[in-house]
Amino acid sequence: MTEPGCPENPTGAERLSVVVPCYNEQEVLPEFHRRLVPVLSALGMPWEVVYVNDGSRDGTLEVMRGLQAVCGQVAIVDLSRNFGKEIAMTAGLDACVGDAVVIIDADLQDPPELIPQLVGEWRAGFDMVYARRDSRLGETALKKATARVFYRVIGRLSRVSIPADTGDFRLMSRRAVDALLRLREQHRFMKGLFAWVGFPQKAVLYRRDPRFAGDTKWNYWKLWNFAVEGITSFSTVPLRLATYCGVGIAVIAFIYAGWIFYKTLAFGDSVKGYPSLMVVLLFLGGGQLIGIGVLGEYLGRMFNETKNRPLYFLNEHRPSVLGRAECGAPGKANDA
Ligand code: UDP
Ligand code: MG
């Protein structure tokens, strides 16, 4: 992919980029950076860390600037507003230059100390090395249970197999990143997209720590929407479900009609049956509304996709020393 006269990688050494989406993480970021730097330095390969400021309302951007002032390996991607983690990650991936790219949360729930292990598996030839949690400290039993149900449902419904208990913490090879970046859909269910691109994959187990500081941006309403997003992005089974329900109800109605026909002939017709009429009416009405709602979910997504908007806009992109060494790097992320 190297253009003539534009050595993509003058030193020839393989480079590592770490992409960190950040939304209101001012308390955690300095500690995160403090823990990350020794890990990366020990790898013995050129590295950069791309901090994506996802429209934070606190001093996150200032903290990032402070880090960049003392550490040339820091790149800052400042989004024009809060776009959500999925798009923040995409912006970071657009801006990074590494031959291998790690995505990691800023809140220290994903231990940076795992990165050498991820790199090891990448060196062994895997394109997508995902960190799989074998425990979720500091998370409620309810959250664990809902996560488990979610993975099971989506595993059943969609064709790509999405690994369970896996977040966004992972390493990707350059070809996997490039493949992922060609998927520019607005509704970015990243867990699904990661799985969709394929390539040799490998899981590495780790312990998920509780958040270091600050609050989780998740609540159950968001999780529910996330689940709907995942299912509608990767499966059309709900659409088919409406058809099957319709067929089932029609068959039952047909049998019931036969029974009424027979009853009227045999016993005559007395005007009764208001309760059963109401039940059938309400049942069908409700069923139809659900069906329309499901259709609407898909239609709404089509509506959003057809607008074909850019995924995000940048206030500013300040590349790292690695990024600046790359030809034409500044502003690269702007043609999102
Ligand atoms: N995040 C983001 N944009 C958002 C929400 C979250 O970039 O709109 C980042 C956040 O700063 C953190 C990561 O995504 O680095 C995970 O967020 P959080 O810890 O709130 O999620 P959880 O760990 O509870 O799934
Ligand atoms: Mg977290």
**pLDDT tens-digit readout, 34-68:** 999 999 999 889 999 999 999 999 889 999 999 99
Residue 11 lies inside a defined structural domain of this protein:
no
Question: Do residues 21 and 89 make contact, with C-beta atoms less than 8 angstroms apart?
Answer: yes
Residues 279 and 291 reside in one and the same domain: yes
Name the residue with the closest Cα to ligand 1, atom 2. 85
Residue 332 lies inside a defined structural domain of this protein:
no
Task: Please provide residue 134's backbone torsions phi and psi, each rounded to the nearest 5 degrees.
Answer: -105, 0
Residue 8 lies inside a defined structural domain of this protein:
no
Contacts of 274 (CB under 8 A, 6+ apart): none
- The model's confidence at residue 178, banded by pLDDT at 50, 70 and 90, is very high
Residues 252 and 316 reside in one and the same domain: no
Question: Would strands 47-53 and 74-79 be described as parallel, antiparallel, or unpaired?
Answer: parallel
52: domain CATH number is: 3.90.550.10
- Could you tell which of 217, 221, 225, 312 is best to mutate to test the pocket of ligand 1, judged by most ligand atoms within 8 Å of the CB? 217
- The model's confidence at residue 142, banded by pLDDT at 50, 70 and 90, is confident
Residue 95's pLDDT is 93
pLDDT above 80 for 139: no
Q: How confident is the model over 202-207, as a mean pLDDT?
A: 85
Residues 174 and 296 reside in one and the same domain: no
Residue 3 lies inside a defined structural domain of this protein:
no
Say which DSSP state 3 is in.
B
Which of 75-89, 157-171, 224-238, 243-257 shows the highest mean pLDDT?
75-89
110 C-beta closer than 6 A to ligand 1: no
Atom of ligand 1 nearest to the CA of 167: 25
Residue 330's pLDDT is 46
pLDDT above 60 for 11: no
Residue 276's pLDDT is 77
pLDDT above 70 for 214: no
Of the listed ranges 34-43, 154-163, 290-299, the one predicted with least confidence: 154-163
Q: How confident is the model over 62-83, as a mean pLDDT?
A: 92
Atom of ligand 1 nearest to the CA of 88: 7
Residue 254 lies inside a defined structural domain of this protein:
yes
Of the listed ranges 164-168, 210-214, 298-302, the one predicted with least confidence: 210-214
Q: How far is the CA of 60 from the centre of ligand 1 (A)?
A: 13
Residues 151 and 284 reside in one and the same domain: no
Residue 176 lies inside a defined structural domain of this protein:
yes
Residues 166 and 41 reside in one and the same domain: yes
Residues 113 and 241 reside in one and the same domain: no
Q: How far is the CA of 28 from the centre of ligand 2 (A)?
A: 11
Residue 74 lies inside a defined structural domain of this protein:
yes
54 C-beta closer than 6 A to ligand 1: yes
pTM of the model: 0.74
Q: How far is the CA of 301 from the centre of ligand 2 (A)?
A: 27
Residue 129's pLDDT is 93
Q: How confident is the model over 202-230, as a mean pLDDT?
A: 76
Residue 328's pLDDT is 52
- Could you tell which of 105, 215, 312 is best to mutate to test the pocket of ligand 1, judged by most ligand atoms within 8 Å of the CB? 105
Number of domains observed in the structure of the chain: 2
| Residues near ion ligand 2 (Cβ under 5 Å) | 107, 109
Q: How far is the CA of 277 from the centre of ligand 1 (A)?
A: 50
Provide the domain limits for residue 242. 237-306
- Closest ligand to C-alpha of residue 219 is 1
- The model's confidence at residue 138, banded by pLDDT at 50, 70 and 90, is low
Q: How confident is the model over 225-232, as a mean pLDDT?
A: 82
Residues 229 and 246 reside in one and the same domain: no
Residue 331's pLDDT is 44
Q: How far is the CA of 20 from the centre of ligand 1 (A)?
A: 10
Residues 211 and 63 reside in one and the same domain: yes
Q: How confident is the model over 89-96, as a mean pLDDT?
A: 94
Query: Within a 10 A sphere around the Cβ of 206, how many other Cβ atoms?
Result: 18
76 C-beta closer than 6 A to ligand 1: no
Of the listed ranges 13-22, 175-184, 222-231, 322-331, the one predicted with least confidence: 322-331
pLDDT above 60 for 333: no
21 C-beta closer than 6 A to ligand 1: yes
- The model's confidence at residue 215, banded by pLDDT at 50, 70 and 90, is low
Residues 255 and 121 reside in one and the same domain: no
Q: How confident is the model over 229-257, as a mean pLDDT?
A: 81
Name the residue with the closest Cα to ligand 1, atom 8. 84
Q: How far is the CA of 190 from the centre of ligand 2 (A)?
A: 16
Residues 246 and 318 reside in one and the same domain: no
217 C-beta closer than 6 A to ligand 1: yes
85 C-beta closer than 6 A to ligand 1: yes
What's the rounded Cα separation, in Å, for the pair 179 and 200?
Answer: 13
- Could you tell which of 18, 19, 22, 23 is best to mutate to test the pocket of ligand 1, judged by most ligand atoms within 8 Å of the CB? 23
What's the rounded Cα separation, in Å, for the pair 226 and 219?
Answer: 10
pLDDT above 80 for 137: no
Residues 155 and 220 reside in one and the same domain: yes
Closest CA to 203 of 114, 286, 275, 284: 114
Q: How far is the CA of 22 from the centre of ligand 2 (A)?
A: 10
The DSSP line for 62-112 is HHHHHHHHH-TTEEEEEESS---HHHHHHHHHHH---SEEEE--TTSSS-G
Residue 336 lies inside a defined structural domain of this protein:
no
pLDDT above 60 for 335: no
pLDDT above 90 for 254: no
Residues 211 and 253 reside in one and the same domain: no
